Chains A and B, each alone.
Chain A
């Protein structure tokens, strides 16, 4: 009984993760602004994948060290990569002219 309950909970988590994945990746094909797509991707990539990893954790508890590592890596890497992509979308700040540039 308890076994099937865990199986069901895991299936729900995996399914919810998949729903978030599709919700977040589908707008990538649309014409929305770049940053809006990034917001959607943070839902899909970070939160959707997090739910899926939790589902896997329930399904294969024996692999918890690697899954925990994946969880940690995923959340930190995805979030910071999202920030890097967002920061890169801005126009570069005006650089003060160096001596080399001003030389003829």
Chain B
């Protein structure tokens, strides 16, 4: 199952995109979509740990409402501070997980990933947050 998961996931994702693009669920169209999904080249991938992947996906989805909250706070903020920060990477061996992490961090307006540091063990992050009282005092 773990070995098959990358194939299943990418095929299902491509088929879903195909269905959205054509908005046609007839049997013939589904068949064409399935053939296209299988024929498109795919990256060589390792077995995916399901639990970690699910967790990363849920965190990525939760980042969307959080992004709006942060945007609101930035819009309201009278002053902002920029900083550099870092966060440990979950698992750099799995490109999909790194992608989900980068997506989750960069989506929120407070933080942008600048790259990997420390040999790929940490994300280098640039943050922009509303200034607190201590920051605004000289």
Contact = CB atoms under 8 A, between A and B. Distances in A.
B20 A47 contact: no
Interface residues of B, number: 26
Interface majority SS (helix, strand, loop, mixed), chain A: helix
Contacts of A39: 74, 109-110, 112, 126, 128
Interface string A16-54: 000010010000000001011011101100110010000
Interface in A52-104: 65-66, 68-69, 75-76, 79-80, 82-83, 86-87, 89-90
A86 B126 contact: yes
A23 B74 CA distance: 10
Contacts of A87: 113-115
Contacts, number: 73
Interface residues of A, number: 27
A20 B71 contact: yes
Given A35-B126, A40-B109, A86-B112, 8 more contacts: A39-B74, A39-B126, A43-B75, A46-B67, A65-B23, A80-B102, A80-B106, A87-B113
